[in-house]
Amino acid sequence: MKKGLFLIAAVVLMLTACSRHGRYESDGNVVRYTYWTFSFGWRYDTLPGVDVKTFKSVNEWLGRDAQRVYFKSELVEGVDAATLKAVKYPLYRDKNDYYYKTNPMRVVDMNTFKVVKWLDDSFWAKDSQCAYFDTTHIVGVDIATFKVKDYTYAVDKDHVFYLGDLLPLADPKTYEDNWKGFYSRDKSHIWCMGELLEDVDYDSFVVDDDWSGHDKYGAFDHHRRVGAEATEEEIE
């Protein structure tokens, strides 16, 4: 019985220690962000330039002093500390903008901005004039018809957007995300994780597993035909 209780306690301790967030600690001289990593164990990162006397922990991943704002241990430039508010990890705001991790979102209309759907640490959002995936401003979107259909994609009346990027040629009326494995399709095109299969024979294409398939001319690995030379962009 005691052995069983010990194992339960050990598991609880491990899960607590390995949570994805840490905590702020101060010894009166410096402020440190303390967190656990599987590779290096406990880490203790000192906050740069912090005013120890005025520092406050907003939550386990956001802190501030009288003038500065910190995401975990990183100083975030340009945030108004006096109006700082946490939204949900890793999103926060001040009176002027929203911030994703350490990056400003440059929201167009603060008064109408709202998150539409969360995808773990990422999200889709919109305001009266623009749509967003994390800090990406989605270009060419029709806000009146913009809808998030699933965690990975959204549509408007004319377009499909995959993780914030316009999916060229995709038909929003017939698009099927994750049709089979990581392959998606519409009435005349096929993609793998947002990458177009450019030379595929649509009618004969068969998905073999999550990342591969074939048509009557040969096999595909992800979006590239097996044996085809990689482009310079893919090599980089």
Contacts 24+ apart (CB under 8 A), 118-123: 118/88, 119/151, 119/152, 121/89, 121/90, 122/163, 123/91
Q: Average pLDDT over the chain, rounded to whole?
A: 90
Mean pLDDT of 206-213: 95
Give residue 156's pLDDT. 97
Give the rounded percent of residues in the chain with a pLDDT score beyond 90. 83
CA–CA separation, 81 and 74 (whole Å)? 14
pLDDT at 21 over 60: yes
CA–CA separation, 63 and 52 (whole Å)? 11
Give residue 16's pLDDT. 39
Q: pLDDT by residue (tens digit) across 107-140?
A: 999 999 999 999 999 999 999 999 999 999 998 8
Mean pLDDT of 163-188: 95
Give residue 231's pLDDT. 52
Give the rounded percent of residues in the chain with a pLDDT score beyond 70. 88
**Bridge partner list, 44:** 34
Sketch the domain layout of the chain as residue ranges: 19-104, 108-166, 167-236
Query: CA separation (Å) from 75 to 6, 30, 56, 83, 181?
Result: 40, 14, 14, 16, 40
- What's the pTM value of the predicted model, to 2 decimals? 0.81
φ, ψ for residue 101 (rounded to 5)?
Answer: 55, -115
CA angle 64, 83, 126 (to 5 degrees): 110
What 8-state DSSP symbol labels residue 88?
E
pLDDT at 8 over 60: no
Nearest partner of 113 among 130, 100, 99, 96, judged by Cα: 130
H or E element in which residue 14 lies? helix 2-17
Give residue 121's pLDDT. 92
Give residue 17's pLDDT. 40
Mean pLDDT of 228-232: 56
Give residue 230's pLDDT. 53
